[in-house]
Structure 1
Amino acid sequence: MPSLQRAAAATVGVGAASLAWASLVERHLYAVRRAVLPVLAPGSRSIRVLHLSDLHLVPRQQHRTDWVRSLTGLSPDFVVNTGDNCSDPDAVPAVLHAMEPLLAVPGVFVLGSNDYYAPVPKNPFRYLIGGHNGPGDSAEPNLPVDRLIAGFEQGWTNLNNQRAEVTVRGVDLDLVGVDDPHIGRDRYAEVSRRADSGAGLTLGVLHAPYTHVLDPMSADGARLILAGHTHGGQVAVPGFGALATNCDLDLRRAKGVSRWWPGANGQRSAHAPENASWMNVSAGLGHSKYAPVRFACRPEASLLTLVPRSA
């Protein structure tokens, strides 16, 4: 066989093997990503926060449901759900069953576009060329979002364009969240408030990490911001990382912990000012049912241990 034909055959073989891995194996390799974040006032007790995002569940996905239910074994003190729980019009009962044990733990939630609207087939290459906007906020939801909200409110606080206060392990949490910026439902200006320097911790929560929300949240003194939406790129290149974030967030922050401050987009966390927020972007637990692959980007939940910062 000529060398060019061998090279072509090898390329096809590698591609086929990669696709098989991404569609049959890696998308089921759920992982817990752990991080320790120094965001609490000196002398505070540590808090274990379980951050869940982008479950994208369909009723038949029992393995994913069982894995999520098992996360109570991590003994979290607080749960944050950053949206996109559904990937099917009939998914709400399955989502509530998956989250049921965790609803016994204090927590908060915001919604993503796939809590309002069922996914539709899309050309995956559109994510590489921009065009981030989803359905507008005037579109009529076609998922039973009211049932989802009612179920979550049995245990968690609704933070969609809301503020709340809660005390966890003796630490006062000032909580602020917005509805999904990806579909224009965010109203941060209506809930904006400067953090009290004497408060325990201001925590910002949103689904899609768009800079027009991250910047004022950070400027208001949110020491920790939690988001999802990006799927960590869902398909990444080993040694390079994510190819897209499906929002205006830079690729370096497609998943994991980084620092954020107004104007941070495109800058390295190493350049962060002292008062910069800490931010965790979850790579999420699932995927659209029309794009059932993950490559070099395992599905994940985040266990964040919040500890006192240096005096």
Structure 2
Amino acid sequence: MPVSGEAAARAVAGLAGLASAGLFYSTVIERNAFTLRHSTMAVLEPGATPLRVLHISDLHMMPRQRLKQAWLSELDALEPDLVVNTGDNLSHPAAVPAVVQSLGGLLSRPGLFVFGSNDYFGPKPKNPFKYFKKDHKRTHGDPLPWQDLRAAFVERGWLDATHTIRELEVGGVRIAAAGVDDPHIERDRYETVAGRPNPLAHLRLGLTHSPEPRVLDSFAADGYDLVLAGHTHGGQLCLPFYGALVTNCHIDRSRVKGPSNWGSTMKLHVSAGIGTSPYAPARFCCRPEASLLTLTPVSHGDADFDEAYSLPPATVGKEPVKR
């Protein structure tokens, strides 16, 4: 049956309306629907005290992102034992004060960090189809003041784990931590931290911005219990019942966010991140998030628990509303 011109026009108008609604939802609503993900992971040595770790990543901060800054500033109400930041804090050369002020009280808690490419270089417009090619050519924007950000973190007491081994005790849990610089732009030098970590530690923790398999394999071979990473944005634009279209690195889509196993003994946690590039300010079926990890002894069982909650800025320290 032929379709009339009027019916075709209505169909085109309907599709245009759906596209506009989707664009509005992804760029205005979901991009600012900040979420707290709760995960329980059995990774500590038997007999160790459970440890609460706040994992944050990919802030991609711009100076005037007030809603994001307000939400971040209330995460301290969670009272984590340890904060781990896996990089890409900046998207603007003037954003360092906003990052430091937003993290606020979290900087007074024990913390570890490594940086990502968007701590060193500003974002640039990119053809989105490049993300479907894992080995596409990298392009960098203008240099960012990462030295100032590092100085601010270190002055407040956080430990830079980049290409070094750090040992600390938090809440009665002895931690041996090591990190690498961002593998996404080939700054990683795993050989600087290679070798088995302290066998007396209750937790052997690895940090990297991009969860590249070559780095994960190295951590696993050396006997690390858990690696924390970011970079993927959880796919950022996902499809219902399918998930992420791309990971923007060499891990598979099933590990694009949250906890997973890497090999037979090591676990991986990938943060879906809190921000986006200013040139791609949209999220779909992939809310911006921070993760509160409860690390328990292996003797408590190997089953992991992972669940996301919606937390408006004013209620981050209160009882969450389950989604």
Q: Is the shorter-chain TM-score for this pair beyond 0.5, marking a shared fold?
A: yes
Pairing 1:293–2:282 present: yes
Q: What is the aligned partner in structure 1 of residue 127 from structure 2?
A: 123
Pairing 1:17–2:21 present: yes
Distance apart, 1:9 and its partner CA: 3.5
Distance 1:80 1:133, change over 3 A: farther
Tell me, yes or no, if the aligned pair for 1:53 and 1:84 is still in contact at 8 Å.
Answer: yes
Distance apart, 1:197 and its partner CA: 4.3
In the alignment, the residues of structure 1 paired with residue 137 and residue 77 of structure 2 have an alpha-carbon distance, to the nearest angstrom, of: 37
SS in 2 for 1:72: helix
TM-score (norm 2): 0.87
In the alignment, the residues of structure 1 paired with residue 242 and residue 290 of structure 2 have an alpha-carbon distance, to the nearest angstrom, of: 22
Q: What is the aligned partner in structure 1 of residue 77 from structure 2?
A: 73
SS in 2 for 1:25: helix
- Amino acid aligned to 1:228: G
In the alignment, the residues of structure 2 paired with residue 219 and residue 131 of structure 1 have an alpha-carbon distance, to the nearest angstrom, of: 25
Distance apart, 1:100 and its partner CA: 2.4
Distance apart, 1:167 and its partner CA: 0.6
In the alignment, the residues of structure 2 paired with residue 78 and residue 25 of structure 1 have an alpha-carbon distance, to the nearest angstrom, of: 30
Pairing 1:42–2:49 present: no
RMSD of Structure 2 on Structure 1 (CA): 1.7
Tell me, yes or no, if the aligned pair for 1:133 and 1:183 is still in contact at 8 Å.
Answer: no
Q: How many residues align?
A: 295
Q: What is the aligned partner in structure 2 of residue 284 from structure 1?
A: 273
Q: Deviations over 1:171-226 (max 9, x none)?
A: 11000101111111111111111134443110000101111101010111111110
Tell me, yes or no, if the aligned pair for 1:132 and 1:246 is still in contact at 8 Å.
Answer: no
Tell me, yes or no, if the aligned pair for 1:113 and 1:134 is still in contact at 8 Å.
Answer: no
Distance 1:157 1:99, change over 3 A: same
Consecutive unaligned residues in structure 2, runs of 5 or more: 301-323
Tell me, yes or no, if the aligned pair for 1:208 and 1:227 is still in contact at 8 Å.
Answer: yes
- Amino acid aligned to 1:225: V
Distance 1:141 1:10, change over 3 A: closer
- Amino acid aligned to 1:219: A
In the alignment, the residues of structure 1 paired with residue 73 and residue 227 of structure 2 have an alpha-carbon distance, to the nearest angstrom, of: 24
SS in 2 for 1:284: coil
- Amino acid aligned to 1:26: E
Distance apart, 1:117 and its partner CA: 0.3
In the alignment, the residues of structure 2 paired with residue 183 and residue 214 of structure 1 have an alpha-carbon distance, to the nearest angstrom, of: 16
Q: What is the aligned partner in structure 1 of residue 307 from structure 2?
A: none
Tell me, yes or no, if the aligned pair for 2:123 and 2:141 is still in contact at 8 Å.
Answer: no
In the alignment, the residues of structure 2 paired with residue 215 and residue 9 of structure 1 have an alpha-carbon distance, to the nearest angstrom, of: 51
Tell me, yes or no, if the aligned pair for 1:133 and 1:182 is still in contact at 8 Å.
Answer: no
Q: What is the aligned partner in structure 2 of residue 252 from structure 1?
A: 254
Q: What is the aligned partner in structure 1 of residue 169 from structure 2?
A: 167
Q: What is the aligned partner in structure 1 of residue 105 from structure 2?
A: 101
Q: What is the aligned partner in structure 2 of residue 188 from structure 1?
A: 190
Q: What is the aligned partner in structure 2 of residue 91 from structure 1?
A: 95
In the alignment, the residues of structure 2 paired with residue 11 and residue 249 of structure 1 have an alpha-carbon distance, to the nearest angstrom, of: 34
Q: Deviations over 1:265-301 (max 9, x none)?
A: xxxxxxxx3x2x1111000000011111111000000
Distance apart, 1:128 and its partner CA: 1.8
* Runs of 4+, deviation exceeding 4 Å: 1-7
In the alignment, the residues of structure 1 paired with residue 143 and residue 66 of structure 2 have an alpha-carbon distance, to the nearest angstrom, of: 24
In the alignment, the residues of structure 1 paired with residue 75 and residue 283 of structure 2 have an alpha-carbon distance, to the nearest angstrom, of: 21
Q: What is the aligned partner in structure 1 of residue 152 from structure 2?
A: 151
Tell me, yes or no, if the aligned pair for 2:56 and 2:84 is still in contact at 8 Å.
Answer: yes
Name the stretch that deviates more: 9-18 or 199-208.
9-18
SS in 1 for 2:42: strand
Tell me, yes or no, if the aligned pair for 1:85 and 1:114 is still in contact at 8 Å.
Answer: yes
Distance 1:80 1:286, change over 3 A: same
Distance 1:131 1:10, change over 3 A: farther
TM-score (norm 1): 0.91
- Amino acid aligned to 2:230: G
SS in 2 for 1:310: helix
- Amino acid aligned to 2:123: P
Q: Deviations over 1:47-102 (max 9, x none)?
A: 10000000000000111111111001111000000000001111111111112211
Identity of aligned residues (%): 49
Distance apart, 1:130 and its partner CA: 2.8
SS in 1 for 2:70: helix
Distance apart, 1:8 and its partner CA: 3.8
SS in 1 for 2:162: coil
- Amino acid aligned to 1:287: T
Tell me, yes or no, if the aligned pair for 1:132 and 1:247 is still in contact at 8 Å.
Answer: no
Q: What is the aligned partner in structure 2 of residue 268 from structure 1?
A: none
